[in-house]
Amino acid sequence: MTEIPSFLLINNPVTLHEVKKNDKKFRFSFIEQTLNSSGKFISTTVFQYHSALFKGILQQLNPVVKLLMLLVGTTGIALIHSVLFQLILSFLIFLLVAFSKLRLRSFYKRVLTLVLIFGIIPTLPIYFNWITPGKPALELIKSGCSFNFWIYHVPNSLYISYEGIHHALRLEIKVLNSLALSLLIIHTTQFVDIVKAASRLKAPAIFLLIITLSHKLIFIFTKVLEDSFLGLKSRWWRKIDENASRQIVGNRFLLVFNKTWHRYDQTYKAMIARGFNGTIEHGYQKQLNRLDILFLLLFIVVLSTAVTISNVFQLY
């Protein structure tokens, strides 16, 4: 089993921090927020690296199979319009998460956070009869007349409609399943293996090399960014005015930019020194075995059956 590099293990979680002075709270929000963004990238990368090494069912599969599952799966989920079939898929994905030995609570906490942002909040207006007219499920306001509010026509009776609930749920559960499947594949496959699998599926080699290089560099420079902001945070204790804060952010930005620019030239020279001549190879790749093929076929059969039945019998 590959060891996790030691420098990845010394990253402490960054917490939001408030300073009180004369009963007034000062939040170094832009520093904290930037630290949170960089910390999130590092912790996610480390977590994925670690969870991809668990001895679960999906971790045993060839990355090519998992990448195909991701592509076929997200397409299939978009094509199934039956809420019941989507619920069955949710259960199957849940089983895959459990058999992949991922921590269910933290996995679904992340999935549901993303579902809230991308699935639930944007679909809230669909529940109401001003967007989806239909049979009333819950009456909210009954006024004497209808009126126009900005881009909406609000009818004289405002209620949540059964049709609205159905449409909103259908969209929300599609987002839930797509996200759960995507995160499941991402958490059970190392990033470098996803790229290798994409190269076997004939994705442009030059594009994949750029992705690989960029992913490594983002990690390095995120660490630079985090260290820089942590240093700043440890030195600062008073409220920062807007001009000063923009100056600070600008300086940090310039630091990162100069470091990336400088490193680009060094990397190019290092690549040439090691004999790079433009030929791109993505290293050793595992061959597909019987289990891989069987699993992929089973996945495709289940999904295509669901798509076919849902569409042929128009189950919405």
- Give, in order, the Cα–Cα distances in Å from 123 to each of 119, 133, 134, 135, 175: 6, 15, 17, 18, 11
E strand segments, 155-271: 157-161
Identity of the residue, 102 or 175, whose beta carbon is nearer to another protein in the bound complex: 175
Torsion of the alpha carbons at 49, 192, 63 and 113, rounded to the nearest 10? 50
| Span 45-64, contacts to another protein by CB under 8 A | 45, 48
| Span 281-310, contacts to another protein by CB under 8 A | none
Asked if 78 touches another protein (CB under 8 A), the answer is: yes
Return the structure tokens found at 277: 């001549």
Taking the CA atoms of 257, 259, 265 and 267 in sequence, report the sign of the dihedral they define.
Answer: negative
DSSP run (H or E) holding 152: strand 152-154
- Give, in order, the Cα–Cα distances in Å from 277 to each of 189, 215, 266, 286: 30, 22, 16, 26
Residue 250 Cβ, how far from another protein at the closest point, in Å? 4
| Span 264-283, contacts to another protein by CB under 8 A | 264, 267-268, 271-272, 276-278
- Give, in order, the Cα–Cα distances in Å from 141 to each of 129, 144, 160: 11, 10, 10
DSSP secondary structure code for residue 100 in this structure: T
Q: Which of 17, 21, 44, 309 binds another protein (CB under 8 A)?
A: 44
Residue 80 Cβ, how far from another protein at the closest point, in Å? 10
| Span 12-41, contacts to another protein by CB under 8 A | 29-30, 33-34, 37-38, 40-41
| Span 188-227, contacts to another protein by CB under 8 A | 191, 194, 204, 206-207, 209-211, 213-215, 217-218, 221-222, 225
Stretch that binds another protein, among 54-62, 94-102, 238-246, 285-293 (CB under 8 A): 238-246
Q: Which of 91, 99, 237, 316 binds another protein (CB under 8 A)?
A: 316
Stretch that binds another protein, among 7-15, 67-75, 98-106, 139-147 (CB under 8 A): 67-75
Q: Where are the alpha helices (DSSP H) in 80-145?
A: 83-99, 104-115
DSSP secondary structure code for residue 131 in this structure: T
Identity of the residue, 19 or 294, whose beta carbon is nearer to another protein in the bound complex: 19
Asked if 83 touches another protein (CB under 8 A), the answer is: no
Asked if 11 touches another protein (CB under 8 A), the answer is: no
Identity of the residue, 200 or 263, whose beta carbon is nearer to another protein in the bound complex: 263
Identity of the residue, 64 or 175, whose beta carbon is nearer to another protein in the bound complex: 175
Asked if 314 touches another protein (CB under 8 A), the answer is: yes
Degrees (nearest 5) of the Cα angle 209, 216, 75? 60
Torsion of the alpha carbons at 229, 231, 235 and 238, rounded to the nearest 10? 10
| Span 144-183, contacts to another protein by CB under 8 A | 150-152, 163, 167, 171, 174-175, 178-179, 182-183
Asked if 124 touches another protein (CB under 8 A), the answer is: no
